[in-house]
Chain A
């Protein structure tokens, strides 16, 4: 068990290092931030001075090593735009992203789990057809389009909710709903198919042959086993959403990490991009580690074999 997680942790660190390295080199192809940072008509001397100040005159391998050494201590350099430590700029945006991600996941699990269970238990019914059609639509609808439609309906036409922004619970409703549609659709489809597989298992027949109550059979013998793949999916989705949902955050002017990174790419703010991506990678990898841990709790066979 301990060795299993030591191994997983090693893999995780390698993954974060890989992501950070790729991002470091890719950002260098974005172009020269100096030209953007200085006013139009700045002299070559000014530009040279700034390049040296930002450390961009060094050979790229030295820049990389400096970057890695500093990143290990959590220092990603000063943001070009804000003139403050980049990691601080990114971390400031985390609460908004976490709030949105967790609300969307909670809503999605609730709606998707219920819908998936209904679809599986009422095989061949109208309810199943409705759930599956909606789920397919939910998964196929582009998030930006859905977001705009929701804004048009609830904010512009009905005027019930703000079009975007951050602060009050009312601001949270539409972006969370937009993301929850996708999340619940994915979960409903997976939970249903997983439950249908489990319903065919011999041990479900055993449970019924024991005369157990339908609720017991459902909870302990069907759902308990069908949840295992769903937990993986919830983990992956949480990891993705905690990395900032770029599109949704942009559509709803939600001040999260996703939107920050897009802005940083536009302004070639290398330190913020690097800090943001490193943080997202770390979150994603950490979520996956937690999923592995949950997996071992849900399925004793993994513990046994590891």
Chain B
């Protein structure tokens, strides 16, 4: 079966006064129907930009798609006329953005913001669209939905606003739901509620999900597949269990090390990845993470490693690394001991 979404060699740049920012570099992956893909990386890793770019949501200029194809149900979104792309956005591809305080229009009621979307993509009349909007707010568990639908975003709490945002994302039962840092601004209990709700929605509608976050912990709870990005590239990709149990990229390993565990809490401090994010104006010749990587080999600095199947791991566990992380970690443990 052909994947629902297939990204091929996507490369995105921004032409700014300071030079060209190489935001996304040669990213390729596939996403099957019903799958939940968690994309993890820090700011500037290209995780958000590449999904915005493939749906025509980056400002152009300064943004520019340098190369690539993005096949959604077999159609290339990058060459699709804007008119057809508009039909897909909000209809077959739903978005949930970070920070619903700024992502919802402050001067329009929640009703209007839901109804305009429903009426754009369905044949429902005004009254039916309103009923559907109330139903959606009930689905995302907003109490007293029929009354609250007439309110403005600032009258909702942060968690409730994010639920409204999710209701907008799933309003037209999209095939693909893209959530960009959807729980980042929320406190942990609300975050857990939202994640549970998304899982329920997935079960109910069979939606395929791309969940973008910088938090490995969030991904563990929701994703089937993890894709770790850095410097606009995919560093590692594979089933959640494989990545958590046996990370092969030093960057994924670093991210996992920085998760708080009972043991690390007891130590009183968390692991951190040394160095700062890459300079995207001057993309690295080799592995972008190499300058921060204690295990980097000389080759890492001069040549970009291809994304390859990890030997001895489950199929679909891919890594871009010249070094052998398990061996390097073992060697390090032996020296310490």
By a beta-carbon cutoff of 8 Å, the part of chain A in contact with chain B is 201-203, 205-213, 216, 220-221, 224-225, 228, 298-301, 304
Contact = CB atoms under 8 A, between A and B. Distances in A.
Given A212-B120, A225-B106, A300-B106, 13 more contacts: A202-B99, A205-B52, A205-B97, A206-B103, A206-B168, A210-B90, A210-B168, A211-B91, A212-B116, A298-B107, A299-B107, A300-B107, A301-B154
Contact size class for B? 20 to 34
Nearest to A222: B105
B89 A202 contact: no
B63 to A, nearest CB: 12
20 contacts: A202-B97, A202-B103, A203-B104, A206-B168, A209-B55, A209-B57, A211-B85, A211-B86, A211-B121, A212-B86, A213-B120, A220-B105, A220-B108, A220-B116, A221-B105, A224-B108, A298-B107, A300-B106, A300-B154, A301-B107
Interface of B: 52, 55, 57, 85-91, 95, 97, 99, 102-109, 112, 116-117, 120-121, 152, 154-155, 168
Contacts of B87: 211
Given A211-B88, A211-B89, A213-B120, A206 B107 contact: no
Given A211-B121, A301-B154, A206 B116 contact: no
A121 B252 CA distance: 42
A205 B90 contact: no
A298 B108 CA distance: 9
A209 B105 CA distance: 13
A304 B109 CA distance: 13
Contacts of A299: 106-107
Contact of A209 (B89, B109, B121): B89
A208 B60 CA distance: 14
3 residue pairs, one from A and one from B, having the closest CB atoms: A211-B90, A210-B90, A211-B89
Contacts of A205: 52, 57, 97, 103
Contact of B116 (A203, A216, A298): A216
Contacts of A225: 105-107
Nearest to A305: B154
A252 B15 CA distance: 52
A221 B52 CA distance: 19
Contacts of B52: 205
Contact of A206 (B86, B91, B104, B152): B104
A206 B95 contact: yes
Contacts of A220: 105, 108, 112, 116
Contacts of B89: 208-211
A210 B116 contact: yes
Nearest to A228: B107
A212 B107 contact: no
A1 to B, nearest CB: 14
A209 B120 contact: no
Contact of A300 (B104, B121, B152): B152
Nearest to A216: B116
A203 B108 CA distance: 11
Contacts of A211: 85-91, 117, 120-121
